[in-house]
Structures are given as C-alpha cells and as structure tokens.
Chains A and B, each alone.
Chain A
Amino acid sequence: MNICPYASGLVCLSANSVINFDNRESLEEQDQRLKVEAVSLLGEMARQTNHKTLARVLEAFMELDSQYRFMTAT
C-alpha cells in the first residue's frame, strides 16, 4: 500500500489545525489521535528508509503542531 496518501493525511490535519485554530468546532477530537498514530508510523518509516519526502512531512508536522499549540495557548 502506498504510504503517500497517509502522509498527506498527516499534513492536512496539521494544516487544518492551524487554519482553524480559532474555530475549535471544526477540529475533531479524533484528529489529535490520528496525528499521533501517523507520526509514530511515519517516523518509524522515515528512520528505516531515510526518505526525504517523509522527513519533510514530519518536519512540516512538527512546525505546524508547535504553531497550533502556541496559537491555542495564547
């Protein structure tokens, strides 16, 4: 199975959190769980394969996630 749609899913959910940080209703509770699962799986794959795209997906996630946390904390 192709990992790319799954990696796209992580990027989309992370981006969606930032876009809608002031609109909690549009963020579903399950999103956080899905992101945690995805980071775990993709992180493992990135370690195994050293693939640049996966590394970039995870890097984007880390930054978007920290921005989301900052936005929602203030």
Chain B
Amino acid sequence: MVLTQMELPAEGLVRQLISTYLTNINVIFPLFNPQQLTQTVDRWYNNPMQRSRTSWAVINVVMAIAQYCSLGQFGFRHADSSVGSVPDCLNKAQSALTEILMGDVELANLQVVLGLVIIFQGTSDIRPAVFLISTALRLCQVLGIHRSDSDFYSNANPREALQWRRVFWIAYILDRDIAMRIRQAPIQQDTDINIELPPKKPDKDAAGFVSTPGMYRNNFNVFRAHVELSRIQGYVYDANFSVRSQQLSPGERAANCQAIRLLLKDWKSRIPATLRAEALSRTQNYLPCIPRFLCMLYGTVVTCLGQLCQVNSMDFHWIDKLRHYGRSITTSIGEPCLPPPQPQGWNALVNECREFMPLFISIEDKGPAFIW
C-alpha cells in the first residue's frame, strides 16, 4: 500500500483520542508507553517521510480502543464520522496485520495485535480474539519476553524492559480471560514464566497504580492485581475443566476448588477498602474508568466462584434441578423430590453477587456490554 493510502483523521482529533486513551485506559492497562505513543503521533504528523505501516496501525488501533471503551463518555457517544468509526479504525489496523506479522518482531507489532484482541474480546464473536491472542503469545515466546534470562532483557534498557514486561502481562491477562470464556486451557503456562510481576511500589510512570483516599503514599497497583487474578482464573480451569481434573476423585476436586476459593478470598483481602465493590458503588471519587475497571475484575471473581460451583448464567444443570424441585412443591403432585444439594462454596458465591450487583448497576456507562 502506498503512503497516500495510509490516511488518518485531522491531527487535533487524533490527538484528542490518543489523550482519551492514555488518560482513561492505558493508565490502568498499560499496553503503551505514553511517551512513545505520543512520539509516534508526533512523527506521523511532523515527519511524513517517517510514516510506516506499523505506526499507522498503532494509531488506528489506539483510536479504535479509545472509542470502543469510551462509548457514551468523553463526547464520543456515537463515533464521530470525522474521526473514523471503531469498525473503520479496526479495518485499517487489520489491513496491516499480514505485513506486521510477516515483518520483524518488534514491540509496536505485538502491541497492534494485542490492541486488536482487546477490541475483539469485547464482542459477541470471540473467534478473532482467540486466534489473535494465540499469535500474540507465540510472538511473546519467540521474543522470550516471558523469561528474565532471555537475551532481550540483557540487552534492553530498563525503560524498554519495563514496557516489554507490561506488554507480556497484558497478553497473559487477555489469554486467561479468553480461555475462561471459551473454557479452554490458557496458552501460556505459569511454569514457563519467570519475569517479575508488576511492582507493588510505583515505578517510573506509575502505570497501573490507583491512588485512593487514605493511601497517599502507598498507591495500589490494580494492574498487578489484575495479573494475580488472571493467574487464579487459570487455576479454575485446571480444577474444573481440565482433563486432569476429570481424573480426580470428587473429594480431590472439591479440595482443589476450596483451595482456589481461599486464593480468591486472599486476593480480595489485598484490595484496599476504598477500592472494594461496596465502597466504589457509593463514591464518585475516581475517574469513571477506575470503578468500571474494578467492576470488571469483581465480575471475574463472580465468574470464578460460579464456575467452581458450576452455577452461573451458562451452567443451567443445577438450576434446572432446583426448578424441578420447586415445581414438585408448587404443584403438590406426588412426593416432593429432594432439593438439590447446595454446592460447596454457595454462600461465598451468593455474598459475592450481593457485593458485585450494586456496583455493576451503579456504573452509569457500562460501555459495550457483551454476552457470553
């Protein structure tokens, strides 16, 4: 494709969307280094001779995420036709995909693929996200950014290494989310990772950190919490859906599920009180992206607990037995059948739902809600 075909909207509109993305999304899900992303946009408009397919794809994918994740907010309720709609930006980014995948593996290429996964993951058709996350993780593995002993890290400066680690953890999170949704094993194995988790204390640009009232000196890294929750999501698959779990006795499986419930409880206990569901649903102290983001995490906790009990909006087996029991009572025909046994962990699930549901309803702008 010749350069003239790589069109972008007017600079002011692009910069507005990039700023929206950096302020509201990248700040807690740091796919890009803000400085580098801004430089990419600067170069695009200031040095047309330095334009590349990759930088064009990066800008388009960021514009797509910014609009997609902020529908109804920040003045982009309906995608501005002069900016380019989400599908338009997506199509442009995708049109560069083959070239990106066949070229040298570099950070920006991986970021484009992951950006596409973020968008496709939020749609009713998960298949593009499934294929793209596989590609992204294979790229991560080829580069060795999951291993602290890889050549890449020994040659990278600290800033680059920090961003590569973040990009890897984002791939990891997306892999776990997608695996949970399709009930397949995650691609990336925990035993094959030895890079550091995102830090507990703020690093150079504090990406992922949220300052909460009463925690001025010890901000909380929600990005790290996200990675930790993703790890637990993988355990839920191992305990409930893996081939190995099917070979265990009911007692062993129940013990494994109980151990995961304790991990979830421990994970929740590390969240500062001001960022817990109950507190968030009663406050407006944060940028809208913070409660929305945490609501997504708490939704994942509900899903994990539901899958451990095998009771969620996709698992009707137990609910059907319960309905059958109810019918036998309400119709008063014949002997009432026995109620189905209350699943282990039921009360934890019910209490989690009680905390989660008011938070979900309190978030005015839910974005493009999707359905499994």
Contacts and interface: CB of A to CB of B under 8 A. Distances in A.
* Same assembly: yes
Interface of A: 1-13, 15-16, 18-19, 28, 30-31, 34, 37-38, 41, 45, 49, 51, 53-54, 56-57, 60, 63-64, 66-68, 70-71
B358 to A, nearest CB: 7
A17 to B, nearest CB: 10
A12 B319 CA distance: 9
Contact of B356 (A6, A41, A66): A6
Contacts of A30: 354, 358
A53 B313 contact: yes
A5 B349 contact: no
Contacts of B314: 4, 53
B354 A3 contact: no
Nearest 9 CB-CB pairings of A with B: A67-B326, A5-B299, A9-B353, A7-B313, A5-B302, A8-B312, A8-B313, A3-B369, A4-B372
A45 B369 contact: yes
Given A1-B296, A11-B313, 15 more contacts: A1-B369, A2-B296, A4-B299, A4-B313, A6-B360, A8-B302, A9-B302, A13-B350, A19-B342, A19-B346, A34-B358, A37-B361, A49-B371, A56-B316, A64-B326
Contact of A13 (B295, B342, B353): B353
Contacts of A31: 354
Contact of A18 (B313, B322, B367): B322
Contact of A60 (B295, B316, B349): B316
Contacts of B303: 4-5, 8
Contacts of A45: 369, 371
B369 A2 contact: yes
Interface in B278-327: 292, 295-296, 298-300, 302-303, 306, 311-314, 316, 319, 322-323, 325-327
14 contacts: A2-B299, A2-B369, A5-B298, A8-B302, A11-B313, A12-B353, A15-B311, A16-B350, A31-B354, A34-B353, A53-B372, A54-B371, A64-B322, A64-B323
Contacts of A1: 292, 295-296, 299, 360, 363, 366-367, 369
A5 B353 CA distance: 8
Contacts of A63: 323, 326-327
A9 to B, nearest CB: 4
A13 to B, nearest CB: 6
A18 B303 CA distance: 21
Contacts, number: 124
Contacts of A19: 322, 339, 342, 346
Contacts of B358: 30, 34
Most A CB contacts (10 A, CB to CB) among B292, B303, B346, B360 go to B360
Contacts of B360: 1, 5-6, 9
B114 to A, nearest CB: 19
B300 A5 contact: yes
Contacts of A64: 319, 322-323, 326
Nearest to A19: B342
Contacts of B354: 13, 28, 30-31, 34
B108 interface: no
A41 B354 CA distance: 16
Nearest to B306: A8
Given A4-B372, A7-B313, A67 B327 contact: yes
Contacts of A51: 371
Nearest to B292: A1
B333 to A, nearest CB: 14
B370 A3 contact: yes
Contacts of B372: 2, 4, 53
A57 B319 CA distance: 10
Nearest to B300: A5
Contacts of A71: 326, 329-330
A54 B319 CA distance: 14
Contacts of B346: 16, 19
B357 interface: yes
A28 B339 CA distance: 21
